[in-house]
Amino acid sequence: MKNKNYLFLLLIFILWGCTEVARNSNDDQVIINSRDSWKIIQEDIFSQNCVDCHSAGTSFANQSNLVLTQDVAYNQLTNQPVDNQAALDDGLERIGTDGLSSLYKSYFWEKINAPDKEHFFSDHHNYGSLMPLGLPHLTNGQLEFIRQWIIEGAPETGSVSDTTLLTDTTRFEEINFSPLAIPENGIQIHLGPFEVQPNYERELLNYTDLDTSGYIYVNQVEITMRPGSHHFILYTFRNSMPDLLIPEEGVYRDLRDANGNFNIDNLAVMYYHDFFAGTQWPYINRTYPPGMAIKIDADKGLDLNSHYVNRSDDVLIGEIYTNIHLVDPTEVEHIAEILTLNHNEFELPPNEITTLERTFTFNQRMHILQLFSHAHEHNLEFAVEIAGGERDGELVYISYDWEHPPILELDPPLTLEPGEGLRMIATYDNWTNDTLTFGLLSEDEMMILFGYYYTD
């Protein structure tokens, strides 16, 4: 009997051992999953979504001059000029290998980045179609996986993107514009409807006095816009703004007149703007993690900035709803505040290209949640890198478009230790015969970095 029991136990151990083996082979699968990121893109994404069209000899491959089969795809994509003429003229390449700065110069990324769809078509009507042509968009997980791979320098070998991202199989869906319900605990702002004339870009400001005083604590911002919107930004006013300058409520203050010239009257007010929230997409719902809120000084109300692009021959209607959800500050563990790094003592000599550099060092640990640059029309490039510490020199933000700098969300936050900071490096082309300095007029220049941060 005892022996039998012993044998039974032995059998169990052997079986247990077998399951161990099975576990090991599972582990092997984990190892398989840490295939080179590029391989995953090629084998799991391109083969199913792109290769049918982008194979040597097909009319599609001839039309795009792009073959995405395994043998040649990497060389066809990386550090290669684009075939599309409009994108080539805009200085884009297919995929550069310089990391973050390459992301914003990548025509390939523009072609697959479905959440940016409206922008893609309204800004770049000669950029062709979104890819994969005629098929559902890539999943949000696949897009984020590819985005990380580009930010890591788009290497041919090495596992640089997080494979768990691929479990997100949701896809970008266009949300039809409809009014938002009024938030239970919050503020709703409704801009419009207003007209945008045919073949015209209308950018305007509109002031709203929030009927609140002091600080508000925001843990969610939801924005929805009628189609055709290029961007929408909510600015607070700095406390230093003279009350005299507070604009009249609800009045549409167009930034340019019918001939495209700047309305100077608006500019003085813009000097006191602090970036609060905004989007370049038709719909966003930005929710902060439980226990976190953005602290906003809403005393002086909000200035709304809307930019609509109408490329049709008919009048277009602009309209935007914003819901600002509020929380009680006592329920908040991390209070994030607006970061404003402003370099305002500089000179740009006439008829020269000048690069300005300015480092801001923090004396406490900072967790940065968002970055957004601000400059005027002479700005060619606005880069931000980490200053000090182990990551000294690492590029964390770049904009090549002074009018529409990217709003970069940092999730997880970028944490900087005391003594570390951010270095802004901005290049300007002063094509005028006068020295330019910091100032408000469009001929003057600015070098400001906005964002949110919290401390421990």
**Footprint of ligand HEC on this chain (CB under 6 A)?**
49-50, 52-54, 60, 63-64, 66, 82-84, 94, 107-108, 111-112, 128-129, 131-135, 138
CB atoms within 10 A of CB 319: 19
* 146 versus 416: smaller Cβ distance to ligand HEC: 146
Chain centroid offset of residue 187 CA: 25
* 50 versus 103: smaller Cβ distance to ligand HEC: 50
Q: Shortest gap between Cβ of 114 and ligand HEC (angstroms)?
A: 10
CB atoms within 10 A of CB 382: 24
- What is the end-to-end Cα distance of the chain in Å, rounded? 65
- Answer for the pair 303, 250: CB distance below 8 angstroms, yes or no: no
* 60 versus 200: smaller Cβ distance to ligand HEC: 60
- Answer for the pair 310, 201: CB distance below 8 angstroms, yes or no: yes
Structure tokens at 340: 């404003």
Q: Shortest gap between Cβ of 68 and ligand HEC (angstroms)?
A: 6
* 64 versus 78: smaller Cβ distance to ligand HEC: 64
Q: Shortest gap between Cβ of 7 and ligand HEC (angstroms)?
A: 58
Residues 127-132: contacts with CB under 8 Å, at least 24 apart: 127/84, 127/86, 127/87, 128/84, 131/50, 132/49, 132/50, 132/53
* 131 versus 326: smaller Cβ distance to ligand HEC: 131
* Angstrom distance (rounded) from CA 230 to CA 85: 23
* 121 versus 200: smaller Cβ distance to ligand HEC: 121
Residue 359, amino acid: T
* 53 versus 387: smaller Cβ distance to ligand HEC: 53
Q: Shortest gap between Cβ of 403 and ligand HEC (angstroms)?
A: 24
Name residues whose C-beta falls within 8 Å of residue 269's C-beta, 6 or more positions apart in sequence: 205, 237, 241, 245, 247, 303
Q: Does the bond joining 193 to the residue before it have cis omega, within 30 degrees of 0?
A: yes
* 146 versus 339: smaller Cβ distance to ligand HEC: 146
- Answer for the pair 341, 446: CB distance below 8 angstroms, yes or no: no
* 136 versus 250: smaller Cβ distance to ligand HEC: 136
Find the Cα–Cα–Cα–Cα dihedral 251, 254, 259, 262, rounded to 10°: 130
Q: Shortest gap between Cβ of 71 and ligand HEC (angstroms)?
A: 16
Name residues whose C-beta falls within 8 Å of residue 385's C-beta, 6 or more positions apart in sequence: 392, 393, 394, 395, 396, 422, 423, 425
Residue nearest to ligand HEC (CB): 128
Q: Shortest gap between Cβ of 122 and ligand HEC (angstroms)?
A: 16
* 135 versus 441: smaller Cβ distance to ligand HEC: 135
Q: Which of 384, 386, 257, 228 is nearest to 320 (CA)?
A: 228
Q: Shortest gap between Cβ of 288 and ligand HEC (angstroms)?
A: 32
- Answer for the pair 51, 64: CB distance below 8 angstroms, yes or no: no
* Angstrom distance (rounded) from CA 287 to CA 290: 9
* Angstrom distance (rounded) from CA 336 to CA 450: 13
* Angstrom distance (rounded) from CA 320 to CA 229: 9
Q: Shortest gap between Cβ of 119 and ligand HEC (angstroms)?
A: 16
* 84 versus 224: smaller Cβ distance to ligand HEC: 84
* Angstrom distance (rounded) from CA 238 to CA 301: 10
Q: Shortest gap between Cβ of 80 and ligand HEC (angstroms)?
A: 8
- Answer for the pair 206, 191: CB distance below 8 angstroms, yes or no: yes
Q: Shortest gap between Cβ of 55 and ligand HEC (angstroms)?
A: 10
- Answer for the pair 35, 159: CB distance below 8 angstroms, yes or no: yes
* 82 versus 398: smaller Cβ distance to ligand HEC: 82
Q: Shortest gap between Cβ of 126 and ligand HEC (angstroms)?
A: 10
Q: Shortest gap between Cβ of 381 and ligand HEC (angstroms)?
A: 23
